[in-house]
């Protein structure tokens, strides 16, 4: 342990030297750069801090006022750093880290990221609408989310427990993607991206505000990535193509969405589809077989009526309908009676349909007191799962259910610079134990530039239907109808400090304790696998962050996270939990020619499920973006993994590989036309 701490300190010192170097680049902005006029509006730090966000409390607040630790990513940030998917955005933030198993991307937060958990402990919203499905409670963050990156206005990231407002899965973070209204687009934008691994993506975005005040936005995306041939030494044998998976890394996706806004009424709908091959031989499928793939389709439509805080009482009403379906294709090898090998297909599928409603009432009882009351109802009409082979059906069941929820929150401004917030939510499930989750927060502003936040919250994850009901004695599984929700308790102390008009700093200390964690275990009574509440986990960490936004167009960020997470029952470290994260980036306008953006990311080793470790790595990304050319065109070049670093992320138990190889140096060229 001492050796590890000593090594960590040495690495930290090296990182701090790099950090000082980056700040040295950022500070003398007048000498190095001149702003680029006539381009997209530069967002100042003050404007960013005063941006009204709604995710933390379900009503508009600034970052300083919000009872949570928050990050905001703007459309400007997305363009300058060349982000293409939500997971790339999250990977730049303090406390977040990503895993990718060549099929799905997984999000770890503050030292917790269970391999192959399908992101069921974070909540992803689009315009406030939950996108987690109703069978696995999984959240999509990669190409499976299917969002046109050009339609995003901003992304609000709220760390810590969010169940007191949002219910299940909001354990570690609530991520809300806010899309652009028609008046922010005003025309037609077409973007084409091409690049390494046969990447070809087209995006269309149309927006307009009409004379009667109606705002319309329509967005569409279609993409194809051929992928690459990948070598896995665990399969290095002539019978498995010497460990090379050929033509099995491809990714095909498309999406369509529309937002209509008129006075107090919003209608938002979207549909996305993705088909992805998986080259890793996961789930013991026949390695290098072309039938190995998964398909994810999701969509929803939501109608929302909301008054706009014109008086002391405001109302929100919404109804929605969602659909999700999934199908997995798994080819397996076997031998016939004569010993001749053959391949047979196996499939699993999920079909889900549900509708819901929410009513929220905000009442400013006094000038210093705001009450929020809310109620939600969801009816899950279909939650069907099927697993079968040509001659055998292992599981086939539809498990409809419903949930009812009530929540209340009170914000009291005790003094002009001191606010106390308390909230409570009750969730009732027709198939699981009910949950009651509280939250409290103290926000103190000793000066206009300083904010101190003391935060306490609890959250839960209801067991998903697969964990409760999956029954397959042939494969060695049995259900557990007594599963309880996972619970997390978090306390956090955060200090936010503004340095002048252009630099913002933050330091945060947090402690998480998770109980009743659901894991697979073998029941000694019958040797069958069953999901049980068996684990307890704790994590402690400290985060530091600096943001800089100068009038010249220079901007940058720098954040570090030091964390320790362990299984309290065994006193061992958690898998897939790096102890140290460092991230930095800066945007530098070069004369009037282009924006240059550099990103740096370092992380320490991660423990795999096979008790091995990944190697630490340091990555660099480069993005070059032109300002608008002739009032209509933009060109950008993104180079990821600039120095072609060989690095890996831990896999799950479904993989023979302890760690999964990631992409080497690759590029994306984009061309955008605005009409």
Nearest to 144 by CA among 205, 187, 101, 96: 101
Q: By mean pLDDT, which of 6-10, 63-67, 452-456, 497-501 is the weakest?
A: 6-10
Which pLDDT belongs to residue 66? 93
Which pLDDT belongs to residue 116? 86
Mean pLDDT of 576-591: 95
Which pLDDT belongs to residue 42? 65
593 C-beta neighbours (distance < 10 Å), count: 11
Which pLDDT belongs to residue 473? 83
Which pLDDT belongs to residue 22? 46
Q: What are the residue boundaries of the structural domains of the chain, listed by start?
A: 2-674
Which pLDDT belongs to residue 525? 86
Q: What are the C-alpha distances in Å from 290 to residues 224, 279, 345?
A: 17, 9, 11
3-state helix, strand, coil in the chain (%, to 5): 10, 55, 35
Share of the chain above pLDDT 70, in %: 93
90-120: per-residue pLDDT in tens? 999 999 999 999 999 999 999 999 988 999 9
| Residue 657 C-alpha from the chain's centroid | 25
Which pLDDT belongs to residue 552? 85
Which pLDDT belongs to residue 458? 98
Whether the Cβ atoms of residue 123 and residue 461 lie closer than 8 Å to each other? no
Whether the Cβ atoms of residue 616 and residue 624 lie closer than 8 Å to each other? no
154-197: per-residue pLDDT in tens? 999 999 999 999 999 999 999 999 999 999 998 999 999 999 99
Phi, then psi, of 512 in degrees rounded to 5: -115, 140
Q: Is 291 helix (H, G, I), strand (E, B) or coil?
A: coil
Q: Can you say whether the dihedral through the CA atoms of 182, 324, 330, 345 is positive or negative?
A: negative
619-643: per-residue pLDDT in tens? 999 999 999 999 999 999 999 999 9
Q: What is the CA radius of gyration of the chain?
A: 25
Instruction: Calculate ∠ Cα 517-380-148, nearest 5°.
Output: 85
| CATH architecture of the domain with range 2-674 | Beta Barrel (2.40)
Which pLDDT belongs to residue 4? 38
Q: Which residues contact 611 (CB under 8 A, 6 or more apart)?
A: none
Characterize the bridge pairing of strands 122-126 and 173-179.
parallel
Which pLDDT belongs to residue 95? 97
Which pLDDT belongs to residue 595? 95
Please determine, for residue 12, whether its predicted confidence score (pLDDT) is greater than 70. Answer: no
Which pLDDT belongs to residue 338? 85
Which pLDDT belongs to residue 7? 46
422-457: per-residue pLDDT in tens? 999 999 999 999 999 999 999 999 999 999 999 999
Average pLDDT score over the chain: 92
Which pLDDT belongs to residue 41? 52
Whole-number Å distance between alpha carbons of 626 and 465 = 49
Which pLDDT belongs to residue 13? 46
248-292: per-residue pLDDT in tens? 999 999 999 999 999 999 999 999 999 999 999 999 999 999 999
Q: What are the C-alpha distances in Å from 211 to residues 182, 208, 264, 307, 384?
A: 12, 10, 16, 21, 46
Q: Which residues contact 395 (CB under 8 A, 6 or more apart)?
A: 385, 386, 387, 470, 471, 472
DSSP-assigned beta bridge partners for residue 398: 384
Which pLDDT belongs to residue 36? 54
Which pLDDT belongs to residue 137? 94
52-71: per-residue pLDDT in tens? 899 998 888 999 999 999 99
Which pLDDT belongs to residue 10? 44
Mean pLDDT of 607-628: 96
Characterize the bridge pairing of strands 659-661 and 617-625.
unpaired
280-332: per-residue pLDDT in tens? 999 999 999 999 999 999 999 999 999 976 678 999 999 999 999 999 999 99
356-391: per-residue pLDDT in tens? 999 999 999 998 999 999 999 999 999 999 999 998
Please determine, for residue 474, whether its predicted confidence score (pLDDT) is greater than 90. Answer: no
């Amino acid at each position: 342990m001492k050796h590890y701490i000593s090594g960590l300190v040495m690495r930290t010192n090296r990182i701090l030297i790099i950090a000082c170097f980056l700040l040295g680049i950022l500070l003398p902005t007048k000498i190095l750069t001149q702003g680029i006029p006539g381009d997209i509006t530069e967002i100042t730090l003050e404007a960013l801090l005063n941006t009204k966000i709604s995710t933390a409390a379900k009503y508009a607040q600034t970052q300083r006022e919000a009872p949570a630790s928050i990050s905001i990513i703007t459309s400007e940030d997305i363009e300058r750093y060349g982000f293409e998917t939500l997971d790339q955005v999250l990977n730049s933030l303090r406390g977040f880290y990503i895993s990718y198993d060549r099929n799905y991307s997984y999000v770890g937060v503050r030292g917790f990221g269970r391999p192959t958990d399908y992101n069921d402990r974070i909540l992803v919203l689009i315009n406030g609408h939950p996108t987690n499905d109703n069978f696995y409670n999984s959240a999509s963050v990669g190409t499976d989310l299917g969002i046109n990156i050009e339609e995003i206005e901003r992304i609000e990231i709220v760390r810590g427990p969010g169940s007191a407002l949002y219910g299940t899965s909001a354990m570690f973070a609530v991520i809300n993607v806010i899309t652009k209204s028609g008046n922010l687009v005003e025309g037609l934008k077409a973007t084409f991206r091409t690049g390494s691994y046969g990447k070809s993506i087209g995006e269309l975005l149309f927006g307009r505000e009409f004379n009667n005040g109606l705002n319309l936005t329509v967005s569409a995306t279609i993409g194809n990535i051929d992928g690459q041939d990948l070598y896995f030494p665990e399969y290095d044998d002539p019978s498995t193509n010497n460990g090379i998976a050929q033509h099995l890394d491809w990714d095909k996706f498309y999406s369509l969405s529309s937002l209509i806004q008129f006075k107090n009424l919003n209608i938002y709908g979207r549909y996305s589809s993705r088909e992805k091959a998986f080259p890793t031989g996961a789930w013991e499928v026949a390695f290098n077989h072309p039938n190995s793939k998964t398909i994810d389709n999701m969509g929803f439509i939501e109608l929302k009526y909301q008054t706009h805080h014109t008086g002391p009482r405001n109302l929100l009403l919404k109804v929605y309908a969602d659909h999700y379906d999934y199908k997995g294709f798994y080819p397996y090898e076997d031998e016939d009676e004569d010993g001749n090998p053959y391949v047979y297909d196996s499939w699993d599928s999920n079909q889900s349909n549900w509708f819901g409603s929410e009513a929220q009432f905000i009442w400013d009882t006094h000038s210093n007191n705001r009450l929020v009351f809310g109620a939600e109802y969801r009816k899950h009409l279909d939650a069907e799962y099927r697993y079968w082979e040509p001659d055998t059906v292992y599981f086939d069941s539809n498990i409809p259910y419903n949930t009812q929820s009530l929540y209340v929150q009170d914000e009291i401004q005790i003094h002009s610079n001191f606010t106390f917030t308390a909230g409570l939510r009750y969730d009732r499930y027709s198939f699981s134990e009910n949950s009651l989750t509280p939250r409290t927060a103290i926000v103190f502003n000793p000066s206009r530039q300083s904010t101190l936040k003391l935060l306490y919250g609890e959250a839960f994850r209801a067991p998903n239907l697969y964990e409760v009901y999956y029954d397959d004695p042939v494969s060695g599984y049995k259900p557990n109808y007594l599963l309880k929700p996972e619970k997390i308790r978090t306390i956090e102390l955060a200090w936010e400090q503004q340095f002048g008009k252009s630099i913002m700093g933050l330091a945060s200390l947090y402690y998480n304790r998770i109980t009743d964690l659901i894991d697979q275990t073998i029941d000694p009574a019958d040797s069958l696998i069953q999901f049980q509440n068996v684990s307890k986990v704790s994590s402690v960490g400290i985060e530091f962050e600096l943001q800089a936004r100068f009038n010249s167009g220079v901007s940058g960020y720098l954040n570090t996270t030091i964390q320790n997470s362990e299984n309290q029952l065994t006193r061992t470290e958690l898998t897939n939990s790096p102890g140290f994260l460092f991230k930095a980036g800066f945007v530098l306008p070069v004369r009037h020619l282009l924006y240059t953006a550099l990103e740096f990311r370092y992380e320490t080793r991660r423990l795999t499920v096979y008790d091995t470790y990944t190697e630490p790595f340091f990555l660099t990304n480069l993005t070059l973006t032109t300002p608008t050319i002739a009032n209509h065109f933009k060109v950008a070049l993104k180079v990821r993994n600039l120095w072609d670093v060989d690095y890996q992320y831990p896999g799950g138990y479904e993989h023979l590989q302890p760690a999964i190889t990631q992409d080497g140096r690759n590029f994306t060229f984009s061309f955008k036309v605005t009409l």
